[in-house]
Every structure is written in structure tokens, then in C-alpha cells.
């Protein structure tokens, strides 16, 4: 994925989309957030060319953050993206991972259908403190990687790739956040209390080889008549030492969480190439192709700031239920 206008030193923008970490549809384009660049890329999936929407500058006036610039610790680390319809317009909500204090912010992006988008970045330390205090969701290290909006609620997906700390282990988990209450807190974070996480569900997603699978993104799936809409998720098998540092990726999966007789079923299949080989890709963003059951778009972070993130088309068929994730439910 490359910017149609190329690099722009005046706005500190590189020539390509880097470190893609979440995607969502905005009309016929895909909005892509990047965990180490303060831009939202609006990508034409057919060409891979993007228009840039700049978020506010960060420390030192920069919008890109990496080891080469000696400012990686200053990145906002936006990892989760949800789209919310507000009548005739669309609002994007990007959430920082929360893995460090600098990464406890929420960005709202509106007006994407107009020539001038409006962006707002809010420090949300009180909200993240509440998530971290809910250890059934946060586990040993908080790391938000996905978000879905439906029926007035945000569902957050926590990635269980942290280190063991104080006898506490990392967990893959989801929680629900009332959106109206969170929006009120974002607008007035000093005087309006943040909503607490509720409805926590923990998942044991399994592994590829010896490496545990951990959530990297999620989206609503294809609705069936008379049935609840399933959730599609991505999970990566990455040898990360903790929630901050990267590790070798040995594979990734697309999974589905759906209601079935007797409870909730969660199952997955590996991302493979045309020859059946497991792809060792860090898949970080997922979106369905509307009107095309079985077709997905998946954004890949290549973990190299000088290389563009990739957008893949994935075809899935009828899934067999031999791989099931085990889940525990805990009300926060």
C-alpha cells in the first residue's frame, strides 16, 4: 500500500503505509491505522493507492516513530479500529494498545466523506486504568488489538502476548464498553467518569507448533437470516517476549466466534498460500468484502519501517469444527 501523492516531508509522511494495525471500511475505501505513524490511510483496495489523513503531531513534532529516529517509545501505537455510523456520516474510533502510558489515547476521525476530515486525539488514562485493573481482561499486560462496534457497544479484543508478571499470565480476552458513556468521557475526560469493562470472555486460542495464538484484530462477519452475526478474528503465532517487543511470526489464522447450540463456538483455520503452505505473516487487520461471502481483506505488517504494509485477499470456504477455542466467561 502506497500513498498516491508519494512522500511528503512537510507533514512527515513516508511514501508508503507502514505497520498497518487495523482496517475498517469507509464507503468504498479501507481506512488503515498504523501503529508507528500518525496517519490514517484511505486505501483503494483495487489499486493499493491511498490518501492520507494526518493525525496531530507527536513528540518532537514528528508523525513517524521507529528505532531509526530514536523515538519508538513515543508512538501512540494505535492497534484497534472501529467504524460507527452516525446517520449519514461515518466516525472512526482508533484506540491505543495501552501497553505503555504513552499508548493510552483514543483518536476520533470524522468527515472522511468530505475534503477536510476532522481529527481529535484524547488522552484516556482513566479509561485505560480501568481496563488494566480488570485483570480478567488485561491479564499480566494490557494490549488492545481489536475493536468492533454493534448496537451501542464496543467490544475490545485484548492480545495475550504479554510476559508473566507477579504470577499473572497473559490472556486473550474480550470485554464490552458502552459507547455513549465512553464518548462522553472522551469529550470531558476530567469530569466524566469512564465506563467500566463488562462481559469479559477469555479464550484459549490454541497454537501453531509450539507458539501460542493471540488476537490481532476482529470484525463482524456475514449475517445469516434468524441467526446472530458471527465475529471473525485474526490471531498470530508470534514469539514476542512481552506486549511491547516483536518476535518471530510462525503463522496466523482466521477464526470465527459464533453462537451455537449449547454455547459459543470459536474455531480457526491457518492462513495458507495456494500451495497449502502456512504463511508466516503478521496479519493485523481484517475486513469482509461486502456482498462476497467467503472473501476477506487482510492487512499485513511486515515489521520493517522501510517496506510497505501489504493488503491480501483471502478466500475461505466451509469450515470444519475440529479446532475449537476454549472460553471462560467472567463478568467484570
Instruction: Identify the three-state secondary structure at position 291.
Output: coil
Sign for the pseudo-dihedral over CA of 290, 295, 301, 306: negative
Count CA atoms within 13 Å of residue 245 on its CB side.
7
Cβ atoms of 103 and 44 closer than 8 Å: no
Count CA atoms within 13 Å of residue 98 on its CB side.
30
- What are the residues facing 269 on neighbouring strands? 254
pLDDT score, position 230: 87
Spatial distance between the Cα atoms of 163 and 152, rounded to a whole number of angstroms = 33
- Mean pLDDT of successive 10-residue segments in the chain (332 residues)? 97 96 95 97 96 95 94 95 89 97 96 88 96 97 97 97 91 97 95 96 92 96 74 94 90 88 78 91 94 88 92 79 40 36
Cell of 101: 502510558
- What are the residues facing 313 on neighbouring strands? 297
DSSP 2-46: EETT--BGGGTB-SB--SEEEEEEETTEEEEEETTEEEEEEE-TT
Cell of 55: 493525525
Neighbours of 118 (CB within 10 A): 12
pLDDT score, position 227: 67
Place of cell 480457526: 268
Closest among 228, 229, 226, 246 to 238, alpha carbons compared: 246
> Helix 125-133 vs helix 179-187: angle between axes, to the nearest 10 degrees?
140
Instruction: Identify the three-state secondary structure at position 185.
Output: helix
Q: Pairing mode, if any, of strands 211-220 and 144-150?
A: unpaired
Angle at 103 between CA 102 and CA 107, to 5 degrees: 115
Domains belonging to the chain, first-starting first, are 2-330 (2.115.10)
Q: In terms of pTM, does the model score above 0.85? A: yes
Which helix (H) or strand (E) segment is 132 a member of? Answer: helix 125-133
pLDDT score, position 328: 40
Amino acid at each position: 500500500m502506497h500513498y498516491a501523492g508519494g512522500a511528503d516531508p512537510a507533514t512527515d509522511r513516508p511514501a508508503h503505509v507502514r505497520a498497518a494495525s487495523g482496517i475498517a471500511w469507509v464507503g468504498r475505501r479501507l481506512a488503515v491505522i498504523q501503529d508507528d505513524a500518525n496517519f490514517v490511510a484511505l486505501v483503494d483496495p483495487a489499486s493499493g493507492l491511498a490518501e492520507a489523513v494526518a493525525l496531530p503531531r507527536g513528540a518532537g513534532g514528528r508523525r513517524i516513530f521507529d528505532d531509526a529516529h530514536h523515538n519508538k517509545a513515543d508512538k501512540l501505537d494505535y492497534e484497534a479500529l472501529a467504524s460507527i455510523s452516525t446517520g449519514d456520516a461515518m466516525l472512526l474510533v482508533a484506540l491505543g494498545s495501552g501497553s505503555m502510558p504513552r499508548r493510552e489515547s483514543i483518536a476520533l476521525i470524522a468527515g472522511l466523506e468530505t475534503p477536510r476530515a476532522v481529527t481529535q486525539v484524547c488522552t484516556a488514562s482513566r479509561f485505560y486504568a480501568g481496563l488494566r485493573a480488570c485483570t480478567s481482561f488485561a491479564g499480566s499486560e494490557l494490549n488492545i488489538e481489536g475493536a468492533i462496534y454493534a448496537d451501542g457497544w464496543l467490544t475490545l479484543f485484548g492480545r495475550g502476548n504479554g510476559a508473566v508478571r507477579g504470577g499473572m499470565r497473559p490472556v486473550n480476552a474480550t470485554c464490552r464498553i458502552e459507547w455513549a458513556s465512553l464518548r462522553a468521557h472522551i469529550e470531558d475526560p476530567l469530569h466524566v467518569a469512564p465506563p467500566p469493562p463488562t462481559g469479559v470472555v477469555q479464550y484459549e486460542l490454541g497454537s501453531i507448533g509450539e507458539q501460542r495464538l493471540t488476537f490481532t484484530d476482529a470484525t463482524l462477519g456475514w449475517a445469516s437470516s434468524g441467526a446472530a452475526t458471527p465475529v471473525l478474528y485474526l490471531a498470530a503465532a508470534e514469539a514476542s517476549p512481552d506486549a511491547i517487543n516483536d518476535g518471530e511470526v510462525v503463522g496466523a489464522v482466521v477464526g470465527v466466534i459464533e453462537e451455537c447450540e449449547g454455547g459459543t463456538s470459536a474455531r480457526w483455520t491457518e492462513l495458507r498460500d495456494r500451495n497449502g503452505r502456512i504463511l508466516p505473516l503478521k496479519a493485523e487487520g481484517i475486513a469482509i468484502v461486502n456482498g462476497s461471502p467467503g472473501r476477506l481483506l487482510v492487512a499485513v505488517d511486515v515489521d520493517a519501517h522501510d517496506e510497505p504494509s501489504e493488503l491480501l485477499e483471502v478466500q475461505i470456504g466451509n469450515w470444519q469444527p475440529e479446532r475449537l477455542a476454549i472460553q471462560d466467561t467472567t463478568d467484570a
